[in-house]
Amino acid sequence: MPHAVSVLLDEALLALNRTVGVLRRRNLPIESIAVGPAGAPGLARLTIILNSDEATVDTTVKKLRNLSGVRAAVTFPMDEGVTRELALVKVRARHERYAGLLDVIELFNADVVDEGADAVIVEVTGSGSFILAFIRAVEGFGILDLARSGSVALARATD
């Protein structure tokens, strides 16, 4: 089962470099990696989805906690957290099939964020499997380009 590792670190490039170095040296099977600003100024959150056993993931998290610049590191199985991904998909939008494309976009609760004469860019968010299902649904219209963010994850809220 994949595990999510969430690392809160200083925004400085050195902290990110050290953290990624630990992952690289351990040669871990990384499914996804994403980094972005955290809730507090000067902090970033690095989210790594690992396909590894629990013992390996726990050892990795312990090593990450000891790094300079790392404020916190936690891990949890994917089914014990909330994981989301963002995708931007540029889809061919021929006039005769445009209504069908809009139906698919609406079905997946996606948003058209840019329109051109012969293509639209659609933003869709959800789990990795939801994103993949959307991509497969619009393949018939013609995908011109695709960008995926990688997964971000947080442990579920507890009472």
- Any idea which residue has 């989210």 for tokens? 47
Give residue 86's identity as a one-letter amino acid code. Answer: L
For residue 159, what pLDDT is reported? 54
Give dist(CA 72, CA 68) in Å, integer.
11
pLDDT, tens digit, 9 for 90 and up, residues 58-111 = 999 999 999 999 999 999 998 888 999 999 999 998 888 899 999 999 999 999
Judge contact between 61 and 73, C-beta under 8 A.
Answer: yes
Tokens of 100: 């069908």
With a CB cutoff of 8 Å and minimum separation 6, the contacts of 126 are 84, 85, 108, 134
- Any idea which residue has 């999510």 for tokens? 4
The reply to whether the predicted model has a pTM over 0.95 is: no
